[in-house]
Chains A and B, each alone.
Chain A
């Protein structure tokens, strides 16, 4: 799996890294601040054959492309309903079940197909499946996304997201893939629907008239109930008392705990403040509040690192344990300062809570990332 790939660092290097990252403030190998992301190059609309696409290239050389393709698909009728006239009944029954504001515009998670391709890994690799599940879970968490794909009661868009890492996975590719997917979805446009009601859909040929999947910019679109931005997933880890964002591979190798946190902009607040926003359009991002969509623990590769040998137990330094004690290898010893030992166990619940809190706090990293992504030209 991608997160647990073997890191070629010696125990001494690991101990040094761990010590450097545990300082206050932490000293990262590439000199970044704890919450600083790696610089990246992003562009959208690079693939003319897709409904939306994006490419992001990180400074460390990892690069990802996401292409979004949409197809019209006939909606599978509710269970028990057969083709013909009965679809109407089935459709309305589900409408009642889905009692929220979306009315009968219920979406289905099957409408989104997400595949992740990591070079060098099999399609059915557990790590790839984990990444894919994590990204789609965040996308579908609020249930609002699938609703965007609703055309009418009989048809819907089927959205295929193909996420390709085109460089070797030098670092855990989750933040990269998430940001690229975010941009690609922002750039995604669906043809304008010209048909009405439940008739067979037909669309406007003019690509210029196509509407964005996530309408942007104007104040009116912000008043829509649905969230205006796709979610982003951030990778955050803790070493000692420090919280570090966007860890590089070497940093992840000494992590005590690593979490992937998915957040999205809160829409309910955007709606309620819409009245005030009309007064001053400039203050749009000020009122942003976030929603927590998903959290997953990433198995840190630090647990698979080779342990160091303290001088006291090293025969090169005069220790004579190996011969006399047959149990020398499994014998337990207290940790020695400066000698690397792979961490055991999990993380304290408080540490985990602090990680999540750090992501979500006002003016925190998630805010910053969303602002930065705002600046990307969507073409």
Chain B
């Protein structure tokens, strides 16, 4: 469904022509590789209080993998509230969270519309589950808070447009970023939380070089030949609790170890992101 109130781009979107110089062709052939150690996350930049008009806000940027044509993840989150609920809503003894995740139309390879599509709504539900576990909801009866995450730049490699299935794995990286940035914005807004929650992604990947699949954290789909399974975890470090777990892939059930390891690595990734988050929050005060 297209939005009639705005001037939309052409329906049949095309991919911008990528100039095919020899070098990039070669890189595309080998598709680069992971330059980081398997248990290192990418560098990230987090800052709170970027939107003065909102009650709380945060901006998160995750570095690119250092190759041309690959964009990093850029997220901005605003928190509005706590404020009174609309008159039509029933009494609530808790704060009502409403989460919106929206890709900017230009954030991904394929242009997105202004209306949220199902995958964005799905991300919003995941984000809500992750945050709901972290906030102390009964501190704010009868109030609502809106958490709006805009994905300004999605984490997508323009050169790997031919490969399939990348998009679905990108969602996990986006979600983990959303969780981290929303958590920072919530803290900035002064909404009671039991802990700082951060997102982390781990994936089981198989690379061309060696046949054995290995587990890496914070995967970039374009850096790996194939992703067999991935999980995104929202983790509360001081309580050692998981508020949201999203696993996707194809794992034999007989090998429970593999699944457990994957989750462990996801927690590890989340804990690393959390250190950045806590440090950033400390800086804003000091």
A contacts, CB < 8 Å to B: 1, 6, 78-80, 93-94, 97-98, 106, 108-109, 124-127, 129-130, 132-133, 137, 141-143, 259, 263, 266, 268, 289-299, 303-304, 306-307, 329-330, 342, 344-349, 352-353, 356-357, 360
Contact = CB atoms under 8 A, between A and B. Distances in A.
Contact of B136 (A132, A304, A344): A344
B243 interface: yes
Interface stretch (B157-165, B180-188, B276-284): B157-165
B2 interface: no
A349 B118 contact: no
A133 B118 contact: yes
Given A346-B234, A357-B256, 10 more contacts: A6-B90, A126-B121, A127-B125, A132-B118, A293-B248, A295-B247, A299-B125, A303-B94, A342-B94, A346-B242
B121 A352 contact: no
Interface string B215-242: 0000000000000000100111001111
Chain A binding site: helix, strand, loop or mixed by DSSP? mixed
A132 to B, nearest CB: 6
B152 interface: no
Chain B binding site: helix, strand, loop or mixed by DSSP? mixed
Contacts of B126: 130, 296
Interface string B41-69: 00000000000000000000000000000
30 contacts: A79-B161, A80-B15, A94-B162, A124-B118, A126-B125, A129-B122, A130-B121, A133-B122, A289-B252, A291-B252, A292-B247, A292-B251, A296-B126, A296-B247, A297-B246, A299-B128, A303-B133, A304-B94, A304-B137, A306-B93, A307-B93, A345-B239, A346-B134, A346-B241, A347-B241, A347-B243, A348-B241, A349-B264, A349-B267, A352-B245
B226 to A, nearest CB: 9
A129 B94 contact: no
A349 B248 contact: no
B242 A347 contact: yes
Given A106-B164, A348-B242, A353 B263 contact: yes
A346 B236 contact: yes
A291 B253 contact: yes
A298 B164 contact: no
Contacts of B242: 297, 346-349, 352
A289 B253 contact: yes
Nearest to A366: B253
Closest 3 CB pairs of A and B: A346-B243, A290-B253, A129-B121
